Amino acid sequence: MFKTKKEFKKEFENACLVVVGKDFEDCSTEEKYFALAKLISSQAGELHEQKIAHKKIYYFSMEFLIGKLLENYLMNLGLTKTVSEGLKDMGESLEDYFDIEKDPGLGNGGLGRLAACFMDSLASLGYEAQGVGIRYRFGLFKQRIEDGRQVEDPDNWLEKDYPWEVKHLEAAVPVKFGGRVEKSYDGNEMHYQWIPEETILAVPYDIPMVGYDGKQVNTLRIWSAKPMEEGFDMDAFNRGDYAHANKHRADVQAITDILYPNDQSLSGRILRLKQEYMFTAAGIMDIVNNFKKQYGNHWEIFSEKVAIHTNDTHPAVCAPELMRVLMDQEGLGWDESWKIASASVSYTNHTILPEALEKWPIDMFRNLLPRLYDIIEEIDRRYRDSFHKNVDGWQEQLKNTAILWDGQVHMANLSVIVSHHVNGVADLHTEILKNIVLKDFYTLVPEKFNNKTNGISHRRFFAQANPSYRKLLEETIGKGWIHHPEELENLKKYEENVSFLEKVEASKKENKIRLANYIKKMTGIEVNPNSIFDIQVKRFHAYKRQLLNVLKIMDLYNRLLADPNFHIHPVTFIFAGKAAQGYTFAKDVIRLICAIADVINHDDRVNRMIKVVFIPNFSVSNAQIIYPAAEISEQISTAGMEASGTGNMKFMMNGAITLGTLDGANVEITQLVGSDNIKIFGLKAHEIETMRHQGSYLAWTLYHENQRIKKVLDQLMDDTYSHLSGGFDLIYDSLLRDNDSFFVLKDFESYMNAFEELVGLYEDKKTWWKMSVHNTACSGYFSSDRTIEEYVQEIWKL
């Protein structure tokens, strides 16, 4: 491992030769980046020592949004200075290398990024862990804006090789699909043999997960589908029928070709079920193989050595698959297999949206996974048998908790039944699970339920993304907070210190200028770094209510034009986020943002006051530029619908003030900072619940009674904003004809007032920057180190 600049230069030149096969001088910048990444990854590998005696956590997730790695790993290994100065000597710039790195989009949003933050914290805290996921050939689409609309381009991230991954053909495992199950009786017990219609090969690729200080290096193992040699149609090949011979290959590879781009809605496609089973079965086989290598057939200690976590229901077949392997391959009985599986597996729920709760038609499931289906049917049968049929309303309870019901396999119910622990991702979310969504389970097995409020990697999203603030902190409260994020509390002592507050303001300004430059580069729009940066970045979804934010801007614009006495501090409204290709409403909201931006940004009468920007292609890498520049964090979902949110935490840590509803983790943010340091508005979750129940809300009434609402809604239908890409009837209809399912108009007035009060506070610098510092000071709780420590102590027992 190199320590000095000199050693680095020597090793780097050597890496160019070994990795690229050229002298340093002859390598392109891209080739040099590639050699450097390989060098750092081998350095990380050297640090890795296999521990034997510990319990290991396997985190199964269909998505891992890891972001770029080079800058993060240099920081974690303490090599940033050595490498950047070494490169400078060689006439190179490390920043150029950072730019070249691809940001793998192997996830949709919060759920996938949470998995990546957990990998960071697990390694940084020194726990043995492996991430288990899918190596999608194409990540989430890249987003462009063309004529004011979202356009999707494929994300060909593997086009030029990905230097951080290492393929492990020797660890490939077969995965079966289709066919039938043969039963035989040997005079003693039944034997089951799955005769598949098709067997494919799952090939793992390992990416190192480097912890802070390089103490622990774990792996993220992502699986890719490939045909078995014998699966290749030799007959067709010999006949010269290459199209036919290749078709099989293409069909198999298709399994890991694409990431489904819908967050929180289902495709119902068989290919998705194949993806889910492929990575789950491969991961389980891998665990069993490794366990046998270390402990032979001491199955009785399996759950003391292995914890298996399922990130949502996507890997819900983990437990039945483990039982299948234990019974059919290792010869264990049902009871023993059940005991082992259910003592190992735990489950996190991430949403209460009914359209995201996975269900598979029984026929489809049984045809694709016949042996798994048998096992699930037996789990369901035993569950029904064990049911207490003497309590009132047991039929209703059974209907709500059974795995097989109405011709469908209910994956959430399967997950709860096979798991030793079930958790939600913020206090309010867990309460809603216990009292509404999974109410009957909570009555039956309350001890299974617990809350684990989400967290974020404070190293990536604060220390790395906000270097000016990091430096300022190191000068004032030291460096302890990198290991112990709760030490950010020490900042509270500086909340009244005017010269410190001025430095915080200056750091924010620097970050705003950095973002302004990025905006100029990506959109051509010039924004004023002295305006307030009001930012909403997240996936586009009706319940997240970007529309409420847009109506706010339309209303402000109307009033600025109509009333010469109406003044506010200048504000730049910034949006970013992707909409699923098929989600017309969400795409229309993006179209509306682009349309109002085009009108407002070209209107000289208001331009010194307001501007609107849509930043294309929101991703982990540009998120790291966006969060640190924010002053107002928009967290305005319909109360009860955002399970947690994690963007809210990233903004808060970077000193933005939250403008939000009492939803998800905003509730905990409020408790931590106190109501003077956050702006809360709108209906509460229970009020929404009651109004929905009673059907007492009528959107039309608000339209007729509130002139400002009427005006902005009418503008959706006239030619105010339709010049760029057409009208907005769909949005208008959702608010009025469909009676505003997400209570946008109902919360409008309270939102406007909250916004104006908050912006009013900006005039008093001391108040504002004191609030800002207070938010950062209280944000240590939201480090994923805290979250992981809770999972470790209370669920995984590592």
315 near ligand Z2T, rule: CB under 6 A? no
454 near ligand Z2T, rule: CB under 6 A? yes
* Alpha carbon distance 86, 315 (integer Å): 45
Residue type, 331: G
Q: What is the largest CA-CA distance in the chain?
A: 93
Query: Is 80 noted as a catalytic residue in this protein?
Result: no
577 near ligand Z2T, rule: CB under 6 A? no
204 near ligand Z2T, rule: CB under 6 A? no
* Alpha carbon distance 185, 164 (integer Å): 49
Minimum distance from residue 435 beta carbon to ligand Z2T (Å): 18
Minimum distance from residue 460 beta carbon to ligand Z2T (Å): 16
Select the span of 107-115, 404-412, 440-448, 624-632 touching ligand Z2T (CB under 6 A): 107-115
350 near ligand Z2T, rule: CB under 6 A? yes
Select the span of 45-53, 109-117, 182-190, 315-323 touching ligand Z2T (CB under 6 A): 109-117
Q: Which of 310, 401, 638, 646 is catalytic?
A: 646
Q: Which of residues 643 and 777 has its CB atom nearest to ligand Z2T in the complex?
A: 643
Report the residue number whose CB is nearest to ligand Z2T. Answer: 110
Q: Terminal CA-to-CA distance of the chain, rounded, Å?
A: 30
Query: Is 68 noted as a catalytic residue in this protein?
Result: no
Q: Which of residues 258 and 515 has its CB atom nearest to ligand Z2T in the complex?
A: 258
Look at residue 146 and give its three-state secondary structure. Answer: strand
503 near ligand Z2T, rule: CB under 6 A? no
425 near ligand Z2T, rule: CB under 6 A? yes
Residues 261-300, mask of contacts with ligand Z2T (x by CB under 6 A): --xx------------------------------------
Q: Which of residues 109 and 148 has its CB atom nearest to ligand Z2T in the complex?
A: 109
* Alpha carbon distance 402, 410 (integer Å): 8
620, 67 Cβ separation under 8 angstroms: yes
Q: Which of 208, 189, 209, 200 is nearest to 230 (CA)?
A: 200
Q: Which of residues 358 and 740 has its CB atom nearest to ligand Z2T in the complex?
A: 358
Query: Is 544 noted as a catalytic residue in this protein?
Result: yes
* Alpha carbon distance 430, 427 (integer Å): 5
* Alpha carbon distance 268, 734 (integer Å): 25
Contacts of 267 (CB under 8 A, 6+ apart): 260
Residue type, 353: L
Show the 3-state SS of 719-772.
CCCCCCCCCCHHHHHHHCCCCCCCCHHHHHHHHHHHHHHHHHHCCCHHHHHHHH
With CB under 6 A as the contact rule, the residue among 19, 20, 69, 114 that binds ligand Z2T is 114
Q: Which of 650, 679, 770, 774 is catalytic?
A: 650
Q: Which of residues 325 and 542 has its CB atom nearest to ligand Z2T in the complex?
A: 542
Q: Which of 142, 459, 538, 587 is catalytic?
A: 538
Q: Which of 305, 350, 371, 611 is catalytic?
A: 350
Q: Which of residues 206 and 642 has its CB atom nearest to ligand Z2T in the complex?
A: 642
Which residues pair with residue 200 across a beta bridge?
175, 227
Minimum distance from residue 309 beta carbon to ligand Z2T (Å): 13
**What is the crossing angle of helices 744-761 and 546-562, to 10°?**
60
C-alpha to C-alpha distances, 98 to 83, 84, 158, nearest whole angstrom: 12, 11, 17
Q: Which of 97, 121, 129 is nearest to 213 (CA)?
A: 121
Query: Is 541 noted as a catalytic residue in this protein?
Result: no
Chain length of the chain: 798
Minimum distance from residue 188 beta carbon to ligand Z2T (Å): 44
Interacting residues with ligand Z2T between 663 and 722 (CB under 6 A): 664
Give how many residues touch ligand Z2T by CB under 6 A: 19
In this structure, how many other beta carbons lie within 10 angstroms of the beta carbon of residue 694? 8
Written as six digits, the tokens of 221 are 């193992």
Q: Which of 9, 544, 587, 746 is catalytic?
A: 544
Residues 229-268, mask of contacts with ligand Z2T (x by CB under 6 A): ----------------------------------xx----
Q: Which of residues 109 and 163 has its CB atom nearest to ligand Z2T in the complex?
A: 109
CA atoms within 13 A on the CB side of 328: 19
* Alpha carbon distance 82, 226 (integer Å): 41
Q: Which uninterrupted H or E stretch holds 700?
A: helix 699-705
Classify the phi-psi angles of 614: left when phi > 0, otherwise alpha if psi is within -120 to 50, otherwise beta.
beta
Q: Which of residues 397 and 413 has its CB atom nearest to ligand Z2T in the complex?
A: 413
Question: Which ranges in 21-143 belong to alpha helices (H)?
Answer: 29-47, 70-76, 80-89, 94-100, 110-124
Q: Which of residues 107 and 320 has its CB atom nearest to ligand Z2T in the complex?
A: 107
312 near ligand Z2T, rule: CB under 6 A? yes
Burial 271-305 (b: 16+ CB within 10 A, else e): ebbbbbbbbbbbbbbbbbebbeeebeeebeebbeb
Minimum distance from residue 664 beta carbon to ligand Z2T (Å): 6
Minimum distance from residue 499 beta carbon to ligand Z2T (Å): 37
* Alpha carbon distance 627, 635 (integer Å): 13
109 near ligand Z2T, rule: CB under 6 A? yes
139 near ligand Z2T, rule: CB under 6 A? no
* Alpha carbon distance 488, 113 (integer Å): 23
Residue type, 563: D
* Alpha carbon distance 548, 735 (integer Å): 11
351 near ligand Z2T, rule: CB under 6 A? yes
356 near ligand Z2T, rule: CB under 6 A? yes
61 near ligand Z2T, rule: CB under 6 A? no
Interacting residues with ligand Z2T between 477 and 496 (CB under 6 A): none
Minimum distance from residue 113 beta carbon to ligand Z2T (Å): 8
With CB under 6 A as the contact rule, the residue among 83, 111, 201, 594 that binds ligand Z2T is 111
Q: Which of 196, 187, 163, 69 is nearest to 123 (CA)?
A: 69
Q: Which of residues 263 and 276 has its CB atom nearest to ligand Z2T in the complex?
A: 263
Select the span of 102-110, 198-206, 325-333, 397-405 touching ligand Z2T (CB under 6 A): 102-110
Written as six digits, the tokens of 2 are 């190199």
Query: Is 350 noted as a catalytic residue in this protein?
Result: yes
106, 64 Cβ separation under 8 angstroms: yes
Residues 617-656, mask of contacts with ligand Z2T (x by CB under 6 A): -------------------------xxxxx----------
Question: Which ranges in 456-576 belong to alpha helices (H)?
Answer: 458, 467-476, 498-523, 546-562
Q: Which of residues 79 and 352 has its CB atom nearest to ligand Z2T in the complex?
A: 352
Interacting residues with ligand Z2T between 527 and 566 (CB under 6 A): none
Minimum distance from residue 339 beta carbon to ligand Z2T (Å): 29
Query: Is 679 noted as a catalytic residue in this protein?
Result: no
* Alpha carbon distance 376, 373 (integer Å): 5
With CB under 6 A as the contact rule, the residue among 108, 346, 622, 677 that binds ligand Z2T is 108
Q: Which of residues 434 and 470 has its CB atom nearest to ligand Z2T in the complex?
A: 434
Catalytic residues: 350, 538-539, 544, 646, 650
Residues near ligand Z2T (CB under 6 A) are: 108-111, 114, 263-264, 312, 350-351, 356, 425, 454, 642-646, 664
